[in-house]
Amino acid sequence: MELLFNSSIFLFSGLSANDYVGFTFFIGYMAMFAASVFFFFERQTVEGKWKTSLLIAGLITMIASVHYYYMRDVWMTTGASPTQFRYIDWILTVPLMCVEFYLILKAFGAKIDLLWKMIGYSLIMLVAGYLGETAFRNQSVIWGIISTLGYAGILYEVWLGSARKLASGSNDPALQSAFKALSWFVLVGWAIYPLGYMAIETDGWLRNVIDVRNMDLIYNIGDAVNKIGFGLVIYSLAVKSK
């Protein structure tokens, strides 16, 4: 514990005043850790049917906070974008965010196949994106297209597919409002990730438009907003449904 504390003090003391990216790594880590504590404690105050949803919301931000702790170390030590840690985080947290759609719709007839479709689409999106950014950088466009197909599958389910139809037919204003908010997170909030992918150095379409270092800044802010915001929507729904 003392070694961990001393390491943190060393890293933070080495943060220069104009290192905005490093600053957001630190803020992202603390914000998502605090959100996890909140979700875990508030889990005890909601009805039983929402406890699993609040537990997953807390797990999402807790997993992300741990990864942000390590990503901050990588940034402070090397100044390089921690791509591998980002994808480890996303491969764990994004499918869990997809699970939330199934859980809030389960009472209104959602079948298990919706859960597996959403998880499957998310894994296609993330695994293909990882391969395009690491092992197959010279074929990043092909892998990017495959990744986009996974993202399009998620968008279809929440905007036009079975998930949308279940929410619309629920006749529950609180659920419909929460579902709409989560859908906008997926459409707008998650849009930063394909933009970042297109900014990679090899043959990304936006490589000369968006600086990769600036993408770390955008990713850090976007991750915190998306993950914490997702959980707060679920929490709000649980409270309104008491």
What string of DSSP letters covers 127-181?
HHHHHHHTTTGGGHHHHHHHHHHHHHHHHHHHHTSHHHHHHHTT--HHHHHHHHH
pLDDT at 11: 47
Asked whether the beta carbons of 82 and 110 are under 8 A apart, the reply is no
pLDDT at 198: 73
Across 132-141, average pLDDT: 84
pLDDT band of 137, cuts 50, 70, 90? confident
- 204 pLDDT above the threshold of 80: no
Between the alpha carbon of residue 109 and those of residues 42, 49, 104, the distances in Å are: 26, 14, 10
pLDDT band of 187, cuts 50, 70, 90? very high
| DSSP state letter for 45 | G
pLDDT band of 208, cuts 50, 70, 90? low
Q: How many CB atoms lie within 10 A of CB 240?
A: 13
Asked whether the beta carbons of 153 and 121 are under 8 A apart, the reply is yes
Rounded distance between C-alpha atoms, residue 213 and residue 218, angstroms = 9
Rounded distance between C-alpha atoms, residue 96 and residue 107, angstroms = 18
pTM of the model: 0.88
Amino acid symbol at 136? F
- Please give the domain boundaries of the chain with CATH numbers for all domains: 2-240 (1.20.1070.10)
Q: Which of 183, 28, 220 is nearest to 98 (CA)?
A: 183
- 199 pLDDT above the threshold of 90: no
Question: Tens of pLDDT along 78-126?
Answer: 888 898 999 999 999 999 999 999 999 998 888 999 999 999 999 999 9
- 3 pLDDT above the threshold of 50: no
